[in-house]
Amino acid sequence: MSSIPVITIDGPSGAGKGTVARQLASELGYHLLDSGAVYRAAALHALHCNADLDDERSVMNALASMHARFEPHPDGVQVWLGDKNVTPDLRLETTGNAASKVALMRRVRESVLDEQRSFRQAPGLVADGRDMGTIVFPDAQLKVFLSASREVRAKRRAKQLKDKGIEVIISDLLQEIGARDERDSSREHSPLVAAHDALIIDSSELSIGAVVEQILSALPREVTAG
Ligand code: DC
The one-letter code for the residue type at 105 is: M
Rounded to whole angstroms, how far apart are CA atoms 89 and 56?
22
Burial of 171 (0-12, 13-18, 19+ CB in 10 A): exposed
Burial of 174 (0-12, 13-18, 19+ CB in 10 A): middle
Tell me if the bond preceding 123 is cis, omega within 30° of 0: yes
Give pLDDT tens digits for 78-107. Answer: 999 999 999 999 988 899 889 989 999 999
Name all residues whose Cβ lies below 6 A of ligand 1. 13, 35-36, 39-40, 96, 99-100, 103, 129-132, 180, 184
| For residue 223, pLDDT beyond 80 | no
Residue of 32, 35, 57 whose CA lies nearest to 46: 57
pTM of the entire structure? 0.91
| For residue 1, pLDDT beyond 60 | no
How high does pLDDT run on average in the chain? Answer: 92
Taken in order of first residue, the domains within the chain and their CATH numbers are 6-220 (3.40.50.300)
What's the CA-to-centroid distance between 27 and ligand 1, angstroms? 24
What's the CA-to-centroid distance between 226 and ligand 1, angstroms? 30
Rounded to whole angstroms, how far apart are CA atoms 192 and 15?
13
Output the residue whose Cα is nearest ligand 1's atom 1: 36
